[in-house]
Amino acid sequence: MKIYDVANFPNPLRVRIALAEKNATSHVTFIPVDLMNGEHRTDAFLAKNPAASVPVLELEDGTFISECTAITEYIDQHFSGPSLTGETAKERAIINMQQKRAESMVLDCVAAYFHHATDGLGPALETYQNNEWGQKQKEKSLNGLAYFNTVLSSSTFLAGETFTIADITLYAGIGFAGFAQIEIPAELTHVHRWLTLVAERPSVKQ
Ligand SMILES: N[C@@H](CCC(=O)N[C@@H](CS)C(=O)NCC(=O)O)C(=O)O
């Protein structure tokens, strides 16, 4: 299988961590996308992913799968190893809920702040910016982090005692926040404890 992405970008990182958790990185050929020069907005790329974003997974039969959550579902089912998306109905529902919260309350808000209230990817790619909305999203991301601090005060990971796709999403969101110079408040001690724990995982170090 192939993955079209840009190494070290926040969303590609989510899938790369998932692959490493499943010990499956060597089964994938990574194809770099020249995002900074707009390759993701060409007709050829839009045929793979109409949302003009990376990563995109291409299966052996030519099927294209985009959205980190969908790609991670595929990876999780396709490769053996501890589940990232849950086994039982209850586990799957809770993991899905926390993943969506990590995405909508932190990662997506940080991305909106980056694209709207900073130089983002530069003038050629940031064709519409709304600074006020971007600033609001930064505030929202900090509220999201405060929520996760409460969650992490009573559990090791976001969806309980095992590392899941929800943790991957929040980790990518916090990494993106660092890049966008959003400081994680020191008083969010449970988030900081969790960050240290996640950063030590071989999949993340890799
Ligand atoms: N919801 C998408 C988000 C993907 C995304 O936004 N990727 C960024 C890179 S981290 C991108 O391709 N941005 C292109 C742009 O902003 O033009 C997913 O889960 O894959």
Distance of alpha carbon 179 from alpha carbon 120, whole angstroms = 10
Nearest CA to ligand 1 atom 1: 67
**Cα-Cα end-to-end distance for the chain:** 20
Atom of ligand 1 nearest to the CA of 12: 10
Strand 29-32, strand 64-66: pairing: unpaired
Model pLDDT for residues 144-189, shown as the tens digit of each residue: 999 999 999 999 999 999 999 999 999 999 999 999 999 999 999 9
Residues with CB under 6 A from ligand 1: 9-11, 35, 40, 52-54, 66-68, 121, 125
Examine the pLDDT at 84 and tell me if it is beyond 90: yes
Q: For residue 131, which amino acid is it? A: N
Domain ranges (residues) in the chain: 2-78, 89-201
Range 89-201: architecture per CATH: Up-down Bundle (1.20)
Atom of ligand 1 nearest to the CA of 6: 9
Tell me if domain 2-78 and domain 89-201 are identical in fold: no
Range 2-78: architecture per CATH: 3-Layer(aba) Sandwich (3.40)
Examine the pLDDT at 206 and tell me if it is beyond 90: no
Angle between helices 165-179 and 189-199 (to 10 degrees): 100
Alpha helices (runs of H) in 152-188, residue ranges in sequence order: 165-179
Is the pTM above the cut of 0.95? yes
- In sequence order, the 6+-apart residues with CB closer than 8 A to the CB of 43 are none
Distance of alpha carbon 95 from alpha carbon 144, whole angstroms = 17
Instruction: Please provide residue 58's backbone torsions phi and psi, each rounded to the nearest 5 degrees.
Output: -120, 125
